[in-house]
Amino acid sequence: MASERAAFQSKQFGPLQGVRIISSGTIIAQPFAAAMAAEMGAEVIQIERPGVGDIWRDLEFPIAKDPGTDGGSNGSVAAGWVQDRRNTHHITLDLSKLEGKELFLRLVADADIWMEASIPGAYAGWGLDDETVFKANPKLVISHVSGYGQDGDPDYLRRASYDFIGQAFGGMMHLTGFEEPEPPVRAAPWIGDRITSLFCLWSSLAGYINAQRTGEGQVIDLSQFEAVHHILAGTTVAYYELGLERGRSGNKAGLFQPYDVFQASDGWVIVAAVGTVFDRVCGVLGLDTTEWANARTDVDSVEGVEFDAILRGWVEEHTVTQVVEIMNAAQVASCRIMTPKDVAEDPHYKARNVHIEWDDVNLGRKVKGNGITPKFSKTPGEIWRGSVPLGHDNETIYNGLLGLDPQEVTRLQDMGVI
């Protein structure tokens, strides 16, 4: 069992305590999956290229100069990196070199999961095909994350993919935004990547559970476009069964109302009523429920359009706070569209301790951001360390875990292997 191995992580906690994950992807989709596991106690070793690092280090909202690395395009520490790379152990390793391959196989030999993100065939080209890796650890779960999958139409497999591409090819962007002639709109921030992260993590853990039961590892083939496509509810069934090509409809639900964004006197607010909750909205507006019953589901009828206009007029005469308070008092779902400032000052966010402080090694000070989600009653996750410079944990892993002597580490550094 993984829990019986000697731990190298100084802090032991959480439901994934004892699970060891090797992560070798870049940017968001796959590494964020590993980082979420690290927040729940898993020992995560993140591999980066020597002297280069992950471009996510300084890509999103640079905060300060990184004092400990030449990695990234300008050597800065970005807000996205500070938030997304907590608790993970970062080493440098060039997998394209023979010595790098050998060190990698030693790492996976005592790991539970290996997650990676690349164009299919990249690792096989370095002599790290699945068969070779399984020889080092037959119980390993290998999670391959790619834009288009490990097999399929050969014209697609070697195509590059990013969040934007995954949303478009997966069918999400066809549904997000307003009707023609307005263009399709991407869901931000990096939602296609984040969806893929969640699929990567749950499937890797499912494979891990099976490996613990059977003693056999397996390969997971996760394509970004399929992860995005999988969450589109009944869109596909509606096409095959009804010939319906669902398109963009803005914020409106289309099948019932009210379910939209409305402009109040001082900002934007959501009012959402499903089913008989429509009657409560009528009560707020002083309308006879029976007279307006048809407006609930026939939103394009004369009554439906008129009801929408009456509600919009009412909302415009009130502040966002007034709309939210009045609607919720009537048990109608309503909330303001929260800005970062709204979120930071909101009493419910504070009461649930959604935002926490932690020590960031890169910045050399405390930072504040998102805490742990979800909350476990008996084995809660925690943040024991923030993001670190490139190669920060080389000594811990190469000297401590793999037992290399300092002279060997220096030789490998001089060769550009680590």
Q: How confident is the model at residue 73 (pLDDT cuts 50, 70, 90)?
A: very low
226 and 278 together in one domain: no
State the CATH number of the domain containing residue 265: 3.30.1540.10
173 and 125 together in one domain: yes
86 and 218 together in one domain: yes
Summarised one tens digit per residue, pLDDT across range 307-355 is 999 999 999 999 999 999 999 999 999 999 999 999 999 999 999 999 9
188 and 88 together in one domain: yes
264 and 362 together in one domain: no
34 and 131 together in one domain: yes
157 and 8 together in one domain: yes
- H/E/C letters for each residue in the chain? CHHHCCCCCCCCCCCCCCCEEEECCCCCHHHHHHHHHHHCCCEEEEEECCCCCCHHHCCCCEEEECCCCCCCCCCEEEHHHHHHCCCCEEEECCCCCHHHHHHHHHHHHCCCEEEEECCCCHHHHCCCCHHHHHHHCCCCEEEEEECCCCCCCHHHHCCCCCHHHHHHHCCCCCCCCCCCCCCCCCCCCCHHHHHHHHHHHHHHHHHHHHHHHHCCCEEEEEEHHHHHHHCCCCHHHHHHHHCCCCCCCCCCCCCCCCEEEEEECCEEEEEECCCCHHHHHHHHHCCCCCCCHHHHCCCCCHHHHHHHHHHHHHHHCCCHHHHHHHHHHCCCEEEECCCHHHHHHCHHHHHCCCEEEEEECCCCEEEEEECCCCCCCCCCCCCCCCCCCCCCCHHHHHHHHCCCCHHHHHHHHHCCCC
Please count the structural domains in the chain. Answer: 2
Q: What is the pTM of this model?
A: 0.93
In a domain, 42, yes or no: yes
Average pLDDT of the chain is 94
Summarised one tens digit per residue, pLDDT across range 199-216 is 999 999 999 999 999 999
Q: Residue 13: which domain range?
A: 2-230+355-414
Q: How confident is the model at residue 100 (pLDDT cuts 50, 70, 90)?
A: very high
Q: Return the pLDDT at 5.
A: 83
In a domain, 236, yes or no: no
In a domain, 56, yes or no: yes
303 and 381 together in one domain: no
Of 303, 338, 373, which one is at a domain's C-terminal end?
A: 338
Summarised one tens digit per residue, pLDDT across range 359-373 is 999 999 999 999 999
Is 266 part of the annotated catalytic residue set?
no
Of 285, 308, 338, which one is at a domain's C-terminal end?
A: 338
Catalytic residue, chosen from 58, 66, 112, 193, is 193
224 and 263 together in one domain: no
Q: Among 16-25, 67-76, 79-88, 173-182, where is mean pLDDT lowest? A: 67-76
Summarised one tens digit per residue, pLDDT across range 388-416 is 999 999 999 999 999 999 999 999 999 99
329 and 374 together in one domain: no
In a domain, 344, yes or no: no
91 and 41 together in one domain: yes
Residue 239 pLDDT > 70: yes
